[in-house]
Amino acid sequence: MKKNIAYLHTKKQQQPITVLTCYDYPTACLQDEAGIDIVFVGDSVGTNILGYKNETEVTMADMRHHLKAVRRGVTDAYLLVDMPYASDSDVKQAVTNAKLFLSDGADGVKLEGGIEKVPIVTALTEQGIETCAHIGHNPQIHGTKAATHGKTFAKAKRLIEAAAALADAGAKLIVLEKITEEVSQIITETVDIPTIGIGAGRYCDGQVLVINDILGIGPPFKHAKRYQDYNHLTFEAICQYHEEVANGTFPTDANTSHIPPDKLARVQKWLKSAR
Least distance (Å) between residue 175 CB and ligand KIV: 5
The reply on whether position 210 binds ligand KIV by CB under 6 A is yes
Query: Long-range pairs for 28-37 at CB < 8 Å and ≥24 separation?
Result: 28/69, 28/70, 28/71, 28/72, 28/73, 28/74, 29/73, 31/73, 31/74, 31/77, 31/211, 32/73, 32/74, 32/75, 32/76, 32/77, 35/76, 36/77, 37/3, 37/8, 37/11, 37/77, 37/78, 37/206
Least distance (Å) between residue 46 CB and ligand KIV: 8
Q: Which is nearer to ligand KIV, 44 or 131 (CB)?
A: 44
Contacts (Cβ under 8 Å, ≥6 apart) of 239: none
Q: Which is nearer to ligand KIV, 42 or 73 (CB)?
A: 42
Interacting residue with ligand KIV among 8, 42, 62, 150 (CB under 6 A): 42
The reply on whether position 88 binds ligand KIV by CB under 6 A is no
Q: Which is nearer to ligand KIV, 175 or 183 (CB)?
A: 175
Q: Hey, which residues between 150 and 189 contact ligand KIV (CB under 6 A)?
A: 175, 177
Q: Hey, which residues between 12 and 41 contact ligand KIV (CB under 6 A)?
A: 21
List, by residue number, the catalytic residues: 177
Closest residue by Cα to residue 71 from 31, 130, 17, 110: 31
The reply on whether position 44 binds ligand KIV by CB under 6 A is yes
Q: Which is nearer to ligand KIV, 82 or 107 (CB)?
A: 82
